[in-house]
Structure 1
Amino acid sequence: MFKTISTKLSVAAIATVTAFTSVMPAVASPSVNGRYSELIQKMNCPQARDEYGSYNHYGYWEGNDYICGDQYAEEGYWVYEYPYWYVWNNDNQAQSARASVNGRYEDLVQTIYCPRAEAEYGSFNNYGYWEGGDYICGDQYAEEGYWVYDFPTWYVWRYDNRTDDAAIDNLATVNGKYTELAQVLTCYEDGDTYGEYYDYGYWSGGSWCGEYGAEGYWVYVYPDWYIWEREVR
């Protein structure tokens, strides 16, 4: 951050954040009017006003560096209100209906600030399950879970209520023909083409119904596509 963080984030990311957050909101507050909660650090840094102004909603930063007179920076959501940086643990906006796909997903595991993902996934994308285990968006570690992109943030959830709370219907597995669920993709309009039920079979994956569909064996049970990794018979 400041002189230090600027070397860690891309020029495009900094420009996006600065353009969005450098304007004083109607009611300025360190928690961005309740968006953030669980304060984990408050850092005295009057010199930051030269670069960030009197108020700046910076957003997520991984921290793990020394700034403002060699003070250690914690990971979290950063807000500047002169003369302090406030670092928060929770982004309550993650609990919005959009980020959880109207409650389909629950138990938030991770949020990753990643404005660059919009170029590939659009402003909103219910990507579904990904095993993670890689570094993305400026070397941020990706956790396993169900991924939803709501610009500019990836939300990673532990549970998909459509797949984890009960056994998958026999229709979706074609009576056990397919196994290892990779993704559930909602597409109401495909009911016009495929009806209430259709065993499409293998597809290599790609853009479908405004989302990215995984490679696998596709079964349509209105209004969802169930995408499976394996055909067992």
Structure 2
Amino acid sequence: MKKLGIIGGLGPMATAYFMQRIIELTDAASDQENIEMVVYNCPSIPDRTGYILGRNKENPLPKILELAHELERQNVDYIAIPCITAHYFHPDIAKAVFVPVGNGIKETAEYLVSAGVQKVGIMATDGTVQMHLFDSVFKDFDIQCVYPDVECQKLVMSIIYDDVKAGRKVNMEEFYTVKEQLFEAGAEVIILGCTELSILKRDYDVGPRVLDIIDVLAADCVNKCAVARPECQSLITK
């Protein structure tokens, strides 16, 4: 059994749900067969999207690196970051520590290849979209990405920031509008590419052909640190 380190709080509810999914996807018959986790729930880390897009000058990387080094001192075997926008900093984080750092975007690409998916629709933050975090990895796996138009991307950001992060009820009609537009653009599967959208999937019916990246992150952690349940192979909604 290996020890997992989590850089969390980005946001806090997504971190709590990430831990829940890890437990649910672990094939454990007793407490002792579950993964030991060291979790830093640090919501004070500056907003990743705002920094990446130049809307604020507070760089989140120093605090993230501080937590990564602290986890290293805690002798964790693997580090996970349940925030996709923060994957913009993944190369810097991975180089700063000796402990392997999970890459949820790469893991998602590998899962899509195994499922025979070649074209996906991306719902994510403006930072993730504008920095092409998914495209930069998916192109190496021959997976094409399609994105919402300007107005639908505004709906995605509103769902993430005005609804989920603010603890408000989500307008699911807006979600379905974006989803339908991505399907019309040829997407075979919709990627929930922000862990705040994972909370939406937890609380609402998102319908078929949706892949939640927090499920991919959780399954990756279980496969690296413990014994996985069969559900780890069937993450796309039916």
The interval holding the TM-score normalised by the smaller chain is under 0.3
Larger Rg computed on CA atoms: 1
Question: Whose strand fraction is larger, Structure 1's or Structure 2's?
Answer: 1
Q: Could you state the TM-score of these two structures normalised by the residue count of structure 2?
A: 0.28
Higher helix content, 1 or 2: 2
State TM-score, norm by structure 1: 0.28
Q: Which has the higher contact order (CA 8 A, sep 6+)?
A: 2
